[in-house]
Structure 1
């Protein structure tokens, strides 16, 4: 601004006090009334509000030569208005004929027009005046040909009623089977005739196809039906992230088919379903199980597994132990002794679990399990997978990071499926479960996730184990010790008879000495035909449990054909081996992951017989991996009936097996048998 012959800049104000600074940097506060009373008071460089709102940003979408021309005009107009060019150095004075103190705007326009004509630019005084007025009204964007700034119609000259008809046809295709663009345009004509009775003229076929491309962009209208429904179910509001600050505060659960062929219990190849639960705060996969068909009891057992530490299993590298990970193992083991020999996967107690509208999760069994464990059950809205995005991403990541490395990978759809998959070496469901558990501990829990970033240093990503170790320092750890009885109470129930040979369950025979008083006896439960209550674990076929009618506890009944290797593997041997190994390094963990993927890709060891019948027989007799959850100790653990004495018996041959007493059979005499009376 200019007042009393001095040009100063307004740097602030408070009420009627204006803070001014001159070219020397000296600041002075002057009352607004004194400034307005000066005869030569003027506001220099004043521009209307419309000129300063986004005018310069308009040039970004214009051609380069148009932008350069507009900026050239801005330079000329600014010198006419202020007397100085916009790039004039500090302390510069106006050129002769451009000093605003002694000249008028009209005279400066005449001088500038004459100067431009002398430089070869065909500029007249009226043209310069119009450009100045445009600039003062609309900024630099007003110096451009307004036809270039005009936004063309998205659909051109197509009738709005035709646009609505095509949009309605695209909307109908959301839940329908995928069809071609020709069908959609045919359907649009029908809709148009039903609404306007043939009064609207349809544009050309090429125009309709261009219109369809604009209306169906990003909707997968003629593409994948699953992608189309997924896009349609996405919320229209901006995406938001839940604010979670502690492990277990919010967890998500889902089930999806796994793209791997496995050998089922009957020895035939088939697909299985993967059910998993993930913690949102740490991205920790607390449990994941495989089943031929997911049921409500499977989801209940998954909750129990999430509350139980993952034990180190024979064959796993020691780099996967919790004691050699970034997790605070020693302090956690002092609180929860179950973590003493656990693998590097945190135990997280859920507070809230988000599930979809699947019948498995909405069942009474799963709801009662959540109530039994004190978990807040939170279902999503129908058709809203975006409300549980973390577990959806987990299921996709399992397919790309694990499943495609496994022998028998079938691809995500029939177009991606190879040939001769059933002839390859396929894993059984229980063997694949063991591989999946090892992959979660080795790969997933030690893999940096893009969603786990430090707000102060967003360039750094954390692994789930690192994030858990960070949050547990501030939130603490409160173990929920799930006892063996609690776990068995969550298992599925069936009703069986106790025969002389034991209990028959899924073509397997289970027997124990504790069943002697109950053999061939009615249970007294007339509602279930006097059968006995049996609880079984779908993930462990080595044993079942019978409710003891006297004590109310559980009787552990083992599978009669369960084979044990008899090798000692106690805590003393574990601690002795672990003491000689250093802490796990990233290289050791990476090597463990690569070894796991190579083993999964190679498939199980081939056997001489490959017929379908032989594969079925082997599948029926294959035992399970060691259990990974707490069990009640039986009163007397019986040895399985293998027909031989245990290894290490004092009597016997060099193989360690005792020789049985030989009882010779008599010679059959038909004449003597004929004299007998039966």
Structure 2
């Protein structure tokens, strides 16, 4: 090997003895070393000349001191920290010849000069401290110096003064393990008290290791240990919360990125914490089913129903991709044309947005839901396939996988429901004495209020999850985020047509007879059914029957698919007895009355149902009404609540109604009756 190799101890910052002087190394190359010089400032010396000198020696090699962990010093007593800082000043004088408070021009004392070895300086420091009253040996100074160079000032602290206590004190580890096992068994069990956990802990100890050589702590110590082990586990609180906490994700929570409206949407339902007047003074609870867009936090649709069914989930899906129209009584500022949404650009794509409210229309690409029967039903899955939506159920017991909709449902309770009369709170412990006695809203009125609240408040409320990445202090509202993402990703919403709406309704298979189509003892007919009467549909799997779609909450009409053509044409048929019961009602009321009168004709059943709804709607005021059973009131209330929001035209009668006397001279507006709801008709098409 070459003799010109640089010695290991020579490095920038080292102190060497050369030509009877102590010099600092300021530069090192493969063949030369740059040293400080009292006359010329710097002197370049060849490596072989430097190492060939008789008095050459490496006096001091600089050691990079660790960064001071000042925060860890706070865990020690003040006296221990003060003593460590006192030792630091003396150790720095041993290492560099000058104390830390000395200036750069201060000349080191002779006994700590850099021309002396490190060992000699340590001996001098030990002698100095001993003479001052602090008895210490040179080896102790050397140990402190090495610890200081390795750990910094923390190496000079007496760690015995900050010794950590064991996590569970002096309790035997076997007792801790047994109690952890007992707590783990209680996760999926019913909620019990702490005394049962302590008893079960003793049983586990006897089954596993025995108690002969085990010192069991006192009951008070065991209760302190139980409190520490059950902290945050909800062992003695609600069982649902405990299971959700125990079976949740153990790894850090991930996030499904969503950069465009509709890329990821979530749907869920929950009981609404408010009493609702269903009908005839019958208060009850309803369920809220809602869908939220993850990218914009837009609440695309929310439906209130007595019980959530698969058809409700499909109707919710239809409302998500349908514009929300302005309604009478809504403030003009709620129009989409008055909002931050790109109304002019969207209006060129869909003319129906001209009269729409400020709620975006979003077409889902993926829907995340739980395993509720309404969402994993064949009807809802077929609706998702029909709209080419990726259906993604979450894992069982993993509510965190759809945390956005869970948080939204909780926000509805705090931001809207608690302001309503009849608010029940989240549990019986938070409920008033008689919430049903308050002046509560009807279901239809509450649905109107909820729809208006979504447009007016939710869509214009800054959301904590919608922040500008470049300016985290700025929050967006759902409408603002939607407008920004439309500009960024070029999103184009495509709303449902009337045919699409009918496709989402549940289907039956029926024969088309001379009198029409019979569905649950109701007969529907239309002149357009004439070519289909007593004809075979050609569907062998259904024995030649015809596909019929119907709305279970509105028995006034049905739609028949024309299988003779391409299968895309629908024929609308109306109930023949609609004039006897102009108020639409659902299957629940029909089945209830038909079971009471199994031998009655269709006309008699229709009259009975109409009479039931009339008695239920009349309320306690007015003339005495026939006594209705509790079952009658419940069926009528749920049927009235589940009815469509579109009113039907009043039927003409032979006897003119008496005109009420006006209380004040006020000009009334002309009343224009609405026709039957026809989803196949597009009222916004160009004429």
> 1:464 matched to which residue of 2?
478
* Distance in 1 (alpha carbons) for counterparts of 2:574 and 2:341: 37
Deviations along 1:607-648, one digit per CA (max 9) or x if unpaired, are 8579996987788668967569xxxxxxxxx9542438999x
Q: What are structure 2's unaligned runs of at least 5 residues?
A: 1-12, 17-21, 585-618, 658-666, 672-687
Note the alpha carbon deviations across 1:583-611, whole angstroms, 9 max, x for none: xxxxxxxxxxxxxxxxxxxxxxx985799
Residue 259 of structure 1 aligns with which residue? 273
Deviation, structure 1 residue 3: 4.7
The question of whether the paired residues in 1 share the 8 Å contact of 2:264 and 2:366 is answered with yes
SS of equivalent to 1:360: coil
2:572 corresponds to: 555
The alpha-carbon deviation at position 64 of structure 1 amounts to: 3.3
Partner of 1:599: none
Question: Structure 1 residue 528: deviation in Å?
Answer: 9.4
> In 2, distance between residues paired with 1:134 and 1:362?
66
* CA deviation after TM superposition for structure 1 residue 354, in Å: 1.2
Q: 1:534 to 1:310 in 2, by over 3 A?
A: same
Distance (whole Å) between structure 1 residues aligned to residue 34 and residue 314 of structure 2:
71
1:321–1:342 contact (8 Å) kept in structure 2: yes
Instruction: Tell me the residue number matched to 1:46.
Output: 63
Name the residue aligned to 1:567.
none
Alpha carbons of structure 1 residues 114 and 3: separation in structure 2 relative to 1, 3 Å: closer
- Residue matched to 1:141: 154
Q: What is the aligned length?
A: 592
Residue 478 and residue 14 in structure 1: after superposition, are their counterparts in 2 closer, same or farther (change >3 A)?
A: farther
Q: How far 1:447 moved relative to its partner?
A: 1.0
Q: 1:2 aligns with which of 8, 14, 19?
A: 14
Distance 1:624 1:369, change over 3 A: closer
**What is the distance in 1 between the residues matched to 2:46 and 2:321?**
73
Q: Partner of 2:273: helix, strand, or coil?
A: strand
Residues 314/36 of structure 1: CA separation in 2 closer, same or farther (3 Å cut):
farther
Match of 2:373 in 1: 359
**TM-score computed with the length of structure 2 as normaliser:** 0.74
Write the mapping of 1:150-165 to structure 2, written as runs, cut at 5 A: 150-165=163-178
**Structure 1: runs of 5+ lacking an equivalent:** 565-605, 629-637, 648-653, 658-678
Which residue, 220, 223, 231 being the options, matches 2:237?
223
Give me the whole-angstrom Cα distance separating, in 2, the residues matched to 1:69 and 1:232.
47
* Residue of 613, 631, 641 corresponding to 2:651: 641
Which aligned pairs between 1:15-94 and structure 2 lie closer than 5 A? Answer: 39-41=56-58, 44-46=61-63, 52=66, 56-89=70-103, 91-94=104-107
Deviations 1:485-524 (A, max 9, x none): 11111113467999999999999x9988759969999998
The alpha-carbon deviation at position 333 of structure 1 amounts to 1.0
Structure 2 matches for 1:611-650, cutoff 5 A? Answer: 640-643=650-653
**1:328: how far off?**
0.8
Query: Match for residue 668 of structure 1?
Result: none
Mapped to 1, the partners of 2:276 and 2:120 lie a distance apart of 91
Contact 2:182–2:201 (8 Å) recurs in 1 = yes
Is the Cα contact below 8 Å between 2:279 and 2:640 reproduced in 1? no
* Corresponding residue of 1:374: 388
- The change in CA–CA distance for 1:640 and 1:548 in structure 2 (over 3 A counts) is farther
Measured at CA, do residues 191 and 443 of structure 1 come closer, stay the same or move farther in structure 2, by a change above 3 Å?
Answer: same
- 2:344 is aligned, of 330, 337, 355, to 330
User: Cα–Cα, structure 1 residues 354 and 2, in superposed 2: closer, same or farther, change >3 Å?
Assistant: same
3-state SS of 2:285 partner: strand
Shift of residue 357 of structure 1?
2.1
CA contact (8 A) 1:495 1:534 kept: yes
How far did 1:20 drift? 11
Return the structure number with greater relative CO, CA threshold 8 A, min gap 6: 1
Give the conservation status (yes or no) of the 8 Å contact 1:261–1:410.
yes
- CA separation of 1:235 and 1:544: change in aligned 2, threshold 3 A: same
Once the 2 structures are TM-superposed, how far is the Cα of residue 145 of structure 1 from its aligned partner? 1.6
1:308 and 2:322 correspond:
yes
User: Structure 1: how far apart are the matches of 2:467 and 2:487?
Assistant: 17
CA separation in 2, counterparts of 1:20 and 1:349?
75
Q: Please, which moves more after superposition, 525-534 or 445-454?
A: 525-534
Task: Write out aligned runs for 1:195-210 (5 A).
Answer: 195-199=208-212, 201=214, 202-210=216-224
RMSD: 4.6
